Amino acid sequence: MATLDAAFLDLPLGALDAVALERAGARGATHAEIRIEQIKEQYLSLRDGEVEGTSDDVEIGVGVRVVVDGSMGFAATVELTADAVAACVDRAVDAARVSGLARGRRVVLADEAAYGAVEFVAPFSIDPTSVALEERVALLGEWSQGLLRAAGVDHVAATLHGVSENKHLATLSGTVANQRRVRIHPTIEALATNDGDFESMRSIAPPVGRGYEYLGGDGWDFAGELEQMPHHLREKCRAKSVDPGLYDLVIDPTNLWLTIHESIGHATELDRALGYEAAYAGTSFATFDQIGTLRYGSDLLNVTGDRTTAYGLATIGFDDEGVRAQSFDLVRAGTLVGYQLDRQIAAEVGFDRSNGCAFGCSPLMAPIQRMANVSLGDSGMDGPSTEELISSVRRGIYIVGDKSWSIDMQRYNFQFTGQRFFLIEAGRIVGQLRDVAYQATTTDFWGSLEGLGGRSTYLLGGAMNCGKGQPGQVAPVSHGCPSVLLRQIRVLNTKQEAGR
C-alpha cells in the first residue's frame, strides 16, 4: 500500500506553518490556512505509434488564505522560505482589507472541528509519475501497433495522463493534514477513412484515482477492449444513419456519467445556483428556493455527492478548507434535497456545516467550491443486467461511450452524443447506428427514467479536467452509475442537424 511521500514530508512544513499562522493571527485574522502542495503531472501522446508530444511538469508552492474583519484575502508564492511565507501572509491580509472596501456582505465560514494531525493516502501501488518515459512509450506503442495491424484502421492516436498530488494543510483552528493521491487516464482512438468521410472509435476506459497498475488490468480489461475496437469501428463505418424521432434509450455508464456531470453535478453546486458563476459558466435552474420541492426526475433517481468513494477522482480525506470528507444526498426519490457546499456558501444560506467541496487546482490558486464525486444509485445486487434492460425495449438505442455534448447556461436544455450506438428492435440489438445525439431538458430526461441496472452494471466514470472559476481552474471528478432505461427520448441526426 502507498504511504505519504517521505521527500515531501522532508520539506520544512511545520516551520512554514508556524510562520504563516502566527503572523496571520498577529495581523488580526480570525481564520487562516496555509496549503503547501507538490503536483507532478505527465502527459504523453502518440500518433500512429510514434511519439507526438510529451510533458513532465512539477509544481510546488504555498498558498495562504485569511479572513480579516469579515473579508477574505489570498496570496501565494513558489518560495518555501520563512521570509517568503511571511510576506505572502502580509499580501493576503492586505488583499482582504482592500476587498473589504467593496464588500457586499461579511465573509463568514461555517464551523468545522479541529482534527489535529491527520493523514490520508489514496490506495494505489505504483505512482504513475514514477514510471520511466520509455516504459510508457512502449506500452502505448504496443497498443497502437496492434490496432494499426487490424483491417479497416487507418490511423491511431493514444494518450496517457498521470498526476501525483502531495498536499499539506494547516489551519489556525488546529487541523494539520498531510495527504497523497494519484490519478491516471489512458485513451486510444482508432480512425478509419470512409468514402471521403471518416469515423473514429475511442476507448471507454475511464480516468480513475488509481496508479499505473491500472494499465496492467487492475480494474479494466484493456486487452479485451483493444481486441474489440476494430470490429466496432468497421461496423460503425457500415452503419445506417439514424432516423430522428423518439426512442427508448438504454444508456451505458460509460456515456451516462457525462450527462450526470453536466445536468446534475454542475446544477447542484450551490454557488452556481446562487448566481456566483453567472459571468463565466452560468447559473442553475435548480435554485435554492426549490430545495425539497423540485421534481428533478422519477422516483428511481437517487443521487449522492461523495468525497470518500474508492478510487474516485474527487476523493480526499480533507478538503482545502480542512473539512472532513463525507457523503451526502443531492436528489432523493426524484426530489432535490441538497447541494454541494464550501464553508462560505454553507454559512451564507444557513447550513451548519460544509460538506467538503472546496478545492484549489494549484497551491497558487485560491480554493473555490468544486464538485464532489456525484453518483446515481443502482438497483442493488439483484437488479437487472444491461441485457435485461435491453430486452424490455421494443424500439430503441443502446448508447456506449462519451463524445461531444452541449448544455445551456442553466444546465437545463442539453444534447449528448457517444462512441457507439446500437439499434434495439424487439428487445435485441440488431446492429450499429451513426450520427446519433439525444436531446432533452434535464427534468424531462430524468423524469423518463424507468429502469436502473443492478450492481453488476455499475461503473465509476469521470473527467480529469472539469473547468470552473475566474481565473480558470480544473478539477478531477468521478461519477458512478449503472446502466439505465429511459422512455421516449428525442434523438437527433447530427449530420442532418449540421446541414450535411
* CA–CA gap between residue 189 and residue 193 (Å, rounded): 13
pLDDT over 90, % of the chain: 95
Angle at the Cα of 497 (from 494 to 500), degrees rounded to 5? Answer: 85
The answer to whether the CB of 309 falls within 8 A of the CB of 328 is no
* CA–CA gap between residue 191 and residue 16 (Å, rounded): 52
Higher-pLDDT residue of 499 and 149 is: 149
Angle at the Cα of 313 (from 310 to 317), degrees rounded to 5? Answer: 65
**Distances in Å between the alpha carbon of 325 and those of 243, 251, 330?**
46, 30, 16
Flag whether pLDDT at 500 surpasses 90: no
> CA-CA-CA-CA torsion for 305, 309, 311, 315, nearest 10 degrees?
60
In this prediction, residue 269 has a pLDDT band, given cuts at 50, 70 and 90, of very high
DSSP state of 384: P
Q: How do the domains of the chain map onto residue ranges? A: 6-238, 241-497
Q: Which of 255, 254, 276, 252 is nearest to 266 (CA)?
A: 276
In this prediction, residue 330 has a pLDDT band, given cuts at 50, 70 and 90, of very high
What's the confidence (pLDDT) of residue 280? 86
What's the confidence (pLDDT) of residue 101? 87
Q: Which of 186, 182, 229, 232 is nearest to 205 (CA)?
A: 186
Flag whether pLDDT at 196 surpasses 80: no
Flag whether pLDDT at 264 surpasses 90: yes
SS (H, E, C) 20-46: HHHHHHHCCEEEEEEEEEEEEEEEEEE
> Alpha helix locations (H) across 242-375?
253-260, 270-273, 343-349
What's the confidence (pLDDT) of residue 197? 81
* CA–CA gap between residue 271 and residue 51 (Å, rounded): 42
pLDDT tens string 98-120: 998 888 889 999 999 999 999 99
What's the confidence (pLDDT) of residue 140? 98
SS (H, E, C) 56-93: EEEEEEEEEEEEECCEEEEEEECCCCHHHHHHHHHHHH
- Longest CA–CA span in the chain (Å) reads 74
Q: What's the distance, CA 358 to chain centroid? A: 14
DSSP characters over 233-251: HHHHHHPEEPPPEEEEEEE
What's the confidence (pLDDT) of residue 104? 82
Other Cβ atoms closer than 10 A to 193: 12
What's the confidence (pLDDT) of residue 262? 98
pLDDT tens string 430-465: 999 999 999 999 999 999 999 999 999 999 999 999
- The pLDDT mean for the chain works out to 97
Over range 304-315, report the average pLDDT. Answer: 97
* CA–CA gap between residue 201 and residue 254 (Å, rounded): 14
Over range 211-240, report the average pLDDT. Answer: 96
* CA–CA gap between residue 216 and residue 3 (Å, rounded): 21
Q: Which of 74, 79, 55 is nearest to 63 (CA)?
A: 74
What's the confidence (pLDDT) of residue 370? 97
Strand 327-332 to 335-336 pairing: antiparallel
What's the confidence (pLDDT) of residue 448? 98
CATH, range 6-238: 3.30.2290.10
pLDDT tens string 122-179: 999 999 999 999 999 999 999 999 999 999 999 999 999 999 999 999 999 999 999 9
What's the confidence (pLDDT) of residue 499? 80
Torsional sign, CA 237, 239, 243, 245? negative
pLDDT tens string 23-76: 999 999 999 999 999 999 999 999 999 999 999 999 999 999 999 999 999 999
Over range 12-19, report the average pLDDT. Answer: 98
